[in-house]
Structure 1
Amino acid sequence: MRPHAFLAGRTAAVHLGLSVGPGALLEVGVLAPNRAPRARGVRGVKVAPHLANVITHEEVRTTDAVSTWAMLGAELTIRELVSLGDQIVRIPRDRRGALLPRQQLGTIDDLGNVVAAGRRRGIGRLQEALPLVRVGSASPLETDFRLDAAAGGLPTPELDVEIHDRNGTLLGITEFVFSQFRTAVEIEGDHHRTDRTQWNRDIDKYAAYAAEGWEVVRLTSAHVRGNRSAVGIVRSVLLRRGWMPAHS
């Protein structure tokens, strides 16, 4: 790339480690009034300077995560924008479960600021997606379940919650928690099955939860995206645990 050019769009998202389907072309941007690059296999993008923040990541110039989210407003669905937004605002944890706020790529306020920065392509979708973004979803699969649960009328869960026993000892960290009904929902990737250490850790964790009166609902991609039974499964547990839907 020329010195003033930078990665943009899906290419920037992938470079930043965000989960979004890569495009067919390498996307390279420039700030106006520079001319967008034209080359085989390259999609050139020209953007107004106030609508993009450019950083250097792993020695390559690229739009930052928040600007990348905004620039994808014209081509991603609202659900995809929420998923991408969730990835940006999540606060990672280390292997011991400690939060790492310095590794957060952006805040919900940051996303709001780019939406308010001025008219751009896809502004309507960005405005619709922004109120749905939450801190705490660690993967697109978790975002999918969260959105489906809201659409299905389930109560609003707490996200990325530390569960302690009555003595204050940390038992584990769970993706979705309905505290009032002592119900924890775990979205499990395939590594929970194939990693023996993780498998044994999960068994110990769920036994400890049960001893403290929690019921654990374990869901996989097949429940969330396959037969789409996840919301119904959680609904049944919550009803059994005392939840009364507002319309009942």
Structure 2
Amino acid sequence: MSRSTPLPSDLQDAPFAVSVARRMGVSESRLRASDLEVPFHGIRRSRLAPVAEPDTDDERAQQRFHALLRDCASFQRREGRSVIFSHVTAARLFRMPLPWRLETRRFLDVAALTPDHAPQGAGIIGHRLTRGAYILSTSAGFAVPAPLRVWAQLAPLLSVDELVVVGDHLVRRKQPFTSFDELVETVAGWRRLRGIRKLRLAALSVRSGTDSAAESRMRLALTRAGLPEPVIGFTVYDRDGCFVGTPDLAYLDERVALEYEGEIHRVDSRTFRSDIERRERFQDADWRHIRVTRDHLTRPHTLVDRVGFALAQRRRIPPPIR
């Protein structure tokens, strides 16, 4: 059976076990053909056709997410049963905002409940979870620990500020995973947990009502530099009571608004035109409107300087000193 020979229909649209394919008459040479790949020992799946490089970060993130789903499905097919994905893998299945070093990690975190042993094998990191302490949830069709437990599992791997960003995501404005009060109460009740000190510090800085990880990183960059904490989700109206906008962050007394602009603001002409009109509405309402990009978060001192001087101009306060 050569590469040009179609696989049996039952094997064409999903990962399949080599043992199953052999029983269906698929030859060894066909199983080694270049249109198939080996995600895990004993498993084959069709190799995806090359696609164009995505234009935006959101599209690249979506591509990575689909690759993760394929890997999880492939491993589950190898096991022949439902498995528990935990730690970084579970966080990615929940679409939690992770730093690049973890977002792009290819290993899968796979867990077993006591008294079972931690899974082992190439391409996975095995974990052992205490039975009874873990309420299992479902994300993207796979078994995972509940979101707050996944947040706790990330504590040894993330900094305090990185944990804050994930915590904000859990209590975000749209479709939150949990409430702010439940997050705080749960952390207070945890004992002898790896990274518990970092989690408790992070809980002090978690804020509900956010819309994006970039918004959280903006807020942390400003407050860690000693600037006042901005307000999240404040709606601005002009003197006539007409709606102006709801910036990501706002300093109310100084009337300074901050908004993060992702790549869609650059590549989409309609969004670009809307941004110009939006900025003019803020100016007409006597608000200082500061646009923040990814470069500002990469070099946060530039953001701190811009906001600090804006506040100084509007309120006559000294700019920050670094």
Give the shorter-chain TM-score range: 0.7 to 0.9
1:39 counterpart (121, 131, 136): 121
Q: 2-side partners of 1:114 and 1:161: how far apart? A: 28
2:147 counterpart (52, 56, 65): 65
1:241 alignment partner, SS class: helix
Q: 1-side partners of 2:228 and 2:183: how far apart? A: 25
Cα distance change on mapping 1:50 and 1:177 into 2, 3 Å:
farther
Cα distance change on mapping 1:13 and 1:189 into 2, 3 Å:
same
Normalised by the length of structure 2, the TM-score is 0.68
String of CA shifts for 1:112-151, please: whole Å, max 9, x gaps. Answer: 2432233211111111111011123333332222112112
Aligned to 1:16: 94
| Aligned pairs for 1:148-159 within 5 A | 148-159=221-232
Instruction: Indicate the percent of aligned positions where both proteins have the same amino acid.
Output: 28
1:229 alignment partner, SS class: helix
Does the 8 A contact of 2:305 with 2:320 survive in 1?
no
Cα distance change on mapping 1:164 and 1:49 into 2, 3 Å:
farther
Q: Structure 1 stretches of 5 or more lacking a match?
A: 93-102
Aligned-residue CA RMSD in angstroms?
A: 2.3
1:126 matches 2:199: yes
Does the 8 A contact of 1:188 with 1:218 survive in 2?
yes
Q: Comparing both chains, which one has the higher relative contact order based on Cα–Cα distances under 8 Å and sequence gaps of 6 or more?
A: 1
| Aligned pairs for 1:202-213 within 5 A | 202-213=275-286
1:120 alignment partner, SS class: coil
Cα distance change on mapping 1:227 and 1:161 into 2, 3 Å:
closer
Aligned residues: 238
Cα distance change on mapping 1:232 and 1:136 into 2, 3 Å:
farther
**Cα distance, 1:243 vs structure 2:** 4.7
Q: 2-side partners of 1:167 and 1:48: how far apart? A: 59
Q: 2-side partners of 1:125 and 1:227: how far apart? A: 22
1:17 alignment partner, SS class: coil
1:43 alignment partner, SS class: strand
1:78 matches 2:160: yes
String of CA shifts for 1:164-222, please: whole Å, max 9, x gaps. Answer: 23343322220110011111011211211111111111111111111111110112111
Normalised by the length of structure 1, the TM-score is 0.87
1:147 matches 2:220: yes
Q: 1-side partners of 2:320 and 2:280: how far apart? A: 34
Larger Rg: 2
